[in-house]
Each structure stands twice: as C-alpha cells, then as structure tokens.
Structure 1
C-alpha cells in the first residue's frame, strides 16, 4: 500500500485518514510526492519555486513529532500553492518579471487557512502572467505542458495545479477562477475543478470589499470528495468582510433522479466548438442519464452577445483598476504582456454608464437563472481541445475568428458573470485529448453540485 506509486495515486481523503491513524507518515508521503516531482516535473513544468528537499522533509518530521491537531483535516498533505497567492517565505511572482525576486512576508487569507488546517507547503504551481489567459506560460518560469500530451497547453490560469494533480505530483491543489481558471485546466487534464458560489471563499480583506468581484479561489483534485475536504477549510466567512455566504459544511448525497440538468450545448450555434467537444460532453451526460438524471435541452432567452459585452466591460474594468499602479509607471509598463496592456486600456475607456449597463445585463441573467425550473445547467468546460503549447492563444475555433486573447474561453462566462457554483467533471477523451463538462448550480447550491459530481465520479470509475 505504501509504495511511492500507489501513494501518489490515492485520494487526498484516504491519505489524510492514513496519516491521522499512523499507517502512513508525513515524511513517507512527502518523499513519494517529491520523488514523483523529480521524475515528472522536468517534462511538464507544473511545480515552480520548489523548496529544498531537506527543508521539506525536516518540516515533515517536525509535523510528525507534533502530531495532528484536532482541527487539522488536511494534516500532512503536501500542497503547492498557485503562484497568484502570497505564501510567507516563498517566491511569489504571479508569473511576472516585475516580481521574479519577490519573497512574500505573509500568507494570503486562503493560504493561512490551509496552513492552519495542517498542509505541508512544498512550493508553487505555475500560472499565466498575472493569471491572464487560459494558457499557463510566463517569462519567469516558462510554459506548463498538458499531462496527456506535452506538446499541448495545460490551460490556465490554474494549469500548473491541474497538471500536478493529473500526474500524481500532488494529492490536492488550490486554484482560482475568473474566466474558467478552475474549470478549463481541470477539463484539459482529466481532473476536477470547482468554482464556488461568489462569496463562499473569503478574499483577502484589502481594498474594496463591497463590490462583488468576478473571481474566486477554489479547490482542485482527482475526486469531488477531495475538493469537498478542502472547501470545508477555505469556504468559511471572514468577519472583516461585509459580503459572503454561510460556511460550507460538506457536500450532499444527491439522488440523481431528483436532478434535472439543462444542456445548453453550443447555445444554438452561438459558441463555435471544435469537432468532438459536444460529442465528448454528451457521453458524460449519457452517464448522468444512466444514473437517473433528467437531461433536457435548454437555450437561455437572454442574448448571449449581451453576456459577452457585459463580461468584457466588467472584466476589463476590474483588471484596469487592479493594475493601474503598474500601468501608470512607464518602466513597469514595459514588462506587462500585450494582452495585459490591452485589457487595461479597454477598461480605462469604459464610462460609468457602460459599467452600469453591464451590471443590468448581469442582473437580468441572474434573475433568469433563478427562475428556472431546472436544478442545474451544463456546458462544455472549453470550446476546443488543448492547443499547441507554443502558441500564445488560439486565433480561431472551427474556422471562426476569436478576435481577442480570451474570446475562445467564452463558454465559461455564464457561470462566472453571476458567480454561480460550477464543477468541471472529466467528460472523456477525443483523439487522446481530455475534455471536461461544467455542471452549474444556482447560487449557494455548492453542496448539491459537488454531491452530484461525486455521484458521477463513483458511477464512472473503472476497477
């Protein structure tokens, strides 16, 4: 049971239980993961800022000697934190040459909660520069490569996390999601990613805490129950913040016969889809139907073009406001990638009336979903399979021009725009490349979405 290969294949939930009862030591698990990283990471470049092996093992021994605390459900589990988060004592670059030597003094709120829950932090996972774009490459660490085809993209911005999970280098990982960054890389690497309801995972208590942002942190794993394990730690309110949801208590045991899923497909042809994407997703839907789920075709009444317009306004405005200190300094601006500068300048051009208009569209879409007599919605996790890792971004899908560096990810914005909980579940493979399916719930239905994802996982696992 404790040979390195089998350890790196086990669920985090099982590993946590073994660590707690003493059938597995923290050092044994750390060594297994580090051996796996040494063997695999040079080919995929998913783990970055890796701490020295001797330091990690010394900390593992100290943890073992102290034993697990009562409130440490993640005790002893190795984790590498996405390189958009501050981790005290580690290089935290956000993939930017502006921060290539930056050593964090403090943990972010989410990292502090993970650390308090007992994780063993071994390093970082790779991201696109400042998390922009769903392709994990940057001038600090280079490109992260797909777990199933090293010539292809891993997705992003949680690309390093997804590949580390898929290749057994980590048992559990964190990610973040503005425009599919927990869902696209999960789908492209045959693992699970979960975007929680807006406000469930508290953000750092800095800046404007009243405006509801477009992004959120969340868990990634090789099973929904492992995401559930992590979400119970990070999905808790923060008294310093005025907006949020009650603490996450754990997923529901869902009876699929009580679930009706509205399959949006390609939104009546609006979304261009690479050949094989819809067919692969429909295979996963067939499995849900076999479990007793009711799958119906659904086309929203709101114009999809209006969602895209609202998204572009709100996203660019958000990026512009957060990036202004860098953009305003001519020397620092030269180190920003062209897509980042474009996004900032787009955001600066929008008026207050534009932002209000986008907010109205956003609200209209929220109300439409809230009124639906459907339990969940379903969409592909991406509109194409992993593309050539040497590209910056795909310029066309199915012969249609994408126009912007992020248009090819449009399929994720129905959930992102209104902060809905969305799980990417593995849908299958087409010509050797993975695809995911988004299961999207209504606000606050995180436990139900994860419960259905776990039921799907249990039903589709091979012996």
Structure 2
C-alpha cells in the first residue's frame, strides 16, 4: 500500500512489510481501507503536505482537521470508517480528535509496542487508537497493545481486558482541573468557555473537582530537546541530501537537533524521569487530571499554524501544541473526548489524564463522561440534512 509520509521524496513509496500494529489488526480480522493524510513526515498538528494537499475539517471545511492524524480524524467524523490508528508525540492523536469531535488515545509508552523503532526507550512517540466512541477506542487498543520481544519498553500486561469498558462511577472521584496547565500555556477564551461546562459534568456526577496541576517545570525544554534529537536522527541525512524539499518548520526542527550535545540529551532524559516520578506522586492525590486538548479551536486551514493564542504570539510551529506535549513529558496515558462546541459550532475536546499504565481506569472515566454528554453524536447541519434525505 503506497505510503508517502506526505513527502514528495516518497510519493511512490510502497513498503515491503507491514508495521506490527497492522499485522495485529489483520490477525484480528480488520479490513484495511487505506491510508489517511498527514503533515509532512507527520510533523505538526495541521495535516497538509505537497503530495495530497490539506485535510479539511468536516465540521467546517474552511478549518483545519488537526494532525498529524488529521486524515484519520476527518474520516472517522465523516463516517468513512469506524476505527483508525496513528501515533502521538506532541498530540498527533489527541489534537485531531479534539478538532473533529472524535476520540483519540495516547497510551502509556510501551502499551502499544514499536518493534520497528530505532529509539523506543525515549518514549515520546507512541502508537494508539482513534474512533468515534470510547468503546471503539478500547476495542482497537485491546488488539494493538501487548508485549513484543523487539521493543524493550513494551508492557507485558494481557491487553484483552481493555476491550471491556464499563463507565466509571464518578461519585467521590478526585478530579484536578488545569485549564492553563498552571499558567504555562495560553488558551483561547472560546476553548475555555466550552470546557467549563464539561468540567461541571464531573461535579454533577458526584466527583470532587479542584484546581491543581502536576509539576511541569522543565517539561517544555525536555520535550523539545528530545524531539529535535530524534528528528535529526531519523531525517538528518535525508535533509542534507534534499534540503529544498523539506517544509521549513520540519527543517528547522531537525536543525535544532544538531545544536544539542550528548549532555543536553542526557539532561533532558533525566528531567523526564524526574517529571514522571513527580506525576506518580500527583496521582496519589488525584484520580484524574482534566485539561484542554488544544489551546485553540479548529483554525483557518490555509494557515500553516496559529501564530497567536489568546493574544500571545506563537513563535514556532510547536508553541500552540504545548497543552498536549507537556503531558507527553509525564509518560502517562491521555485521551481526547468530545466535550462541546464553540459558539461557531466548532468541536472542542477535553483531555482526560491519569497515572501511567492505568488505561482501563482512564477509559472507564472517559466512557462515563461520554455517556453523560453525548457530544460525539452531534453532527454538522449539512450531515443531518443529508441523513434525513
């Protein structure tokens, strides 16, 4: 199956083997329909590239579908397919799910193995499921998760139980709410306004909600350092040979990796370890953390990336994605669940987060929120009109 990575350098590329998660889905009886669109080399949260152009949002065709799994999220929202898979380093499963009113899960690193990865121990990028419902996400996770001998970080837990999701009883649940991640990220007012009622749903279900945020000091620098190092390792030689073909933001990010010393990378990995230990202590006091998935609502599809968020300039293509990638640094599972709409009818997702390796509990809480709100069942007027005809 042609696999272009959204790059003209691979416009006619056909791999010789399947990825492990594709093999697992095939063994489970999945019917593979095709590839969906991504940004160039899946870098960024807006799905456009010179091979297939821009993926547009089914809720407003003038808006972005997010990324990097923007094609997958749009296809799910349109009803073209019931399940999709993708990867998530800085929000690539969560952001498009938020933009397209579907569900996207970033699992704990190691939950879904990456035996083909050259650097699985870094744990920044993980594979995971997307679907229109929490139950369908859980079903796909139960198929693609599980240990693999060629991934030293893969978890040994039997994944089959993950498919059985029973909505959690939220009474007494200890919920932390961090609308700006402890004032570390700007969030547009329309996003905050959409999420406040979503958080109130937990209180109506009997949960105890309080403002709180885990320790994120140093998370930004650690994430950016390790991302740049990984990008340089993967694509540095290709950039040297074909510099004019790479989109400028990706070329910049690869070049950033060349400014990092071995000491910088080791310091960043040490910082990740400290943050992940601090997250464990945070989740001793809180069952779940709620936060925005994206700092903006779906933006103009003709933009490369949002340059201002809540009046704050965004200087790189990464800045506006911090609400997701800071959570990546904690090494915990996080799910984007449909949480409402802006006044303009644009979808907004709620990010629900819990301690590492507790996907089943996370899915149960997400299912309870989904059942109480049913935001994911809402469709644009043109879809509803078509269905009635």
**TM-score (structure 1 length as normaliser):** 0.77
Is structure 2 residue 90 aligned with structure 1 residue 179? yes
Q: SS at the partner of 2:127? A: strand
Structure 2 distance, partners of 1:124, 1:148, is: 21
From 307, 314, 317, the equivalent of 1:402 is 314
Structure 2 distance, partners of 1:401, 1:262, is: 28
For residue 455 of structure 1, what is the aligned residue in structure 2?
A: 368
Give the structure with higher Rg (CA).
1
Is structure 2 residue 175 aligned with structure 1 residue 271? no
For residue 261 of structure 1, what is the aligned residue in structure 2?
A: 175
- Does the CA contact (< 8 Å) of 2:275 and 2:330 recur in 1? yes
- Does the CA contact (< 8 Å) of 1:135 and 1:156 recur in 2? yes
Structure 2 distance, partners of 1:181, 1:325, is: 24
Q: For residues 290-316 of structure 1, what are the alpha-carbon distances to aligned partners after superposition, in whole Å with 9 as ceiling and x for unaligned?
A: 12222111033443xx21111111111
**TM-score (structure 2 length as normaliser):** 0.91
Structure 2 distance, partners of 1:281, 1:461, is: 14
Shift in Å, 1:318? 0.9
Closer/same/farther in 2, CA of residues 173 and 302 from structure 1, 3 Å limit: closer
- Does the CA contact (< 8 Å) of 2:135 and 2:165 recur in 1? no
Shift in Å, 1:219? 0.7
* Greater length-normalized contact order (CA 8 Å, ≥ 6 residues apart): 2
Structure 1 residue runs of 4 or more that deviate by more than 4 Å after TM superposition: none
Structure 2 distance, partners of 1:341, 1:247, is: 40
Q: How many residues in Structure 1 have an aligned counterpart in Structure 2? A: 369
Closer/same/farther in 2, CA of residues 302 and 460 from structure 1, 3 Å limit: closer
- Does the CA contact (< 8 Å) of 2:333 and 2:357 recur in 1? yes
Q: For residues 354-408 of structure 1, what are the alpha-carbon distances to aligned partners after superposition, in whole Å with 9 as ceiling and x for unaligned?
A: 1122123212211211012111111101001111101111111122111111111
Shift in Å, 1:233? 0.4
Q: CA RMSD in A?
A: 1.5
For residue 106 of structure 2, what is the aligned residue in structure 1?
A: 195
From 311, 315, 319, the equivalent of 2:223 is 311
- Does the CA contact (< 8 Å) of 2:181 and 2:291 recur in 1? no
Structure 2 distance, partners of 1:363, 1:241, is: 19
Structure 2 distance, partners of 1:268, 1:371, is: 17
- 1:23-42 mapped onto 2 (5 Å cutoff): none
The answer for unaligned runs of 5 or more in structure 1 is 1-89
The answer for unaligned runs of 5 or more in structure 2 is 378-389
Closer/same/farther in 2, CA of residues 456 and 402 from structure 1, 3 Å limit: same
Is structure 2 residue 331 aligned with structure 1 residue 424? no
Q: For residues 326-377 of structure 1, what are the alpha-carbon distances to aligned partners after superposition, in whole Å with 9 as ceiling and x for unaligned?
A: 1232xx2221111111011101110112112212321221121101211111
Shift in Å, 1:270? 2.7
For residue 302 of structure 2, what is the aligned residue in structure 1?
A: 390
- 1:42-441 mapped onto 2 (5 Å cutoff): 90-209=1-120, 211-245=121-155, 246-248=157-159, 249-250=161-162, 251=164, 253=166, 254-303=168-217, 306-329=218-241, 332-372=242-282, 373-430=285-342, 431-441=344-354
Shift in Å, 1:241? 2.3
Shift in Å, 1:206? 4.8
- Does the CA contact (< 8 Å) of 1:200 and 1:247 recur in 2? no
Q: For residues 210-242 of structure 1, what are the alpha-carbon distances to aligned partners after superposition, in whole Å with 9 as ceiling and x for unaligned?
A: x23311111111110001110110011112222
Q: For residues 148-203 of structure 1, what are the alpha-carbon distances to aligned partners after superposition, in whole Å with 9 as ceiling and x for unaligned?
A: 00000000001011111111111111121110111111011111110011000011
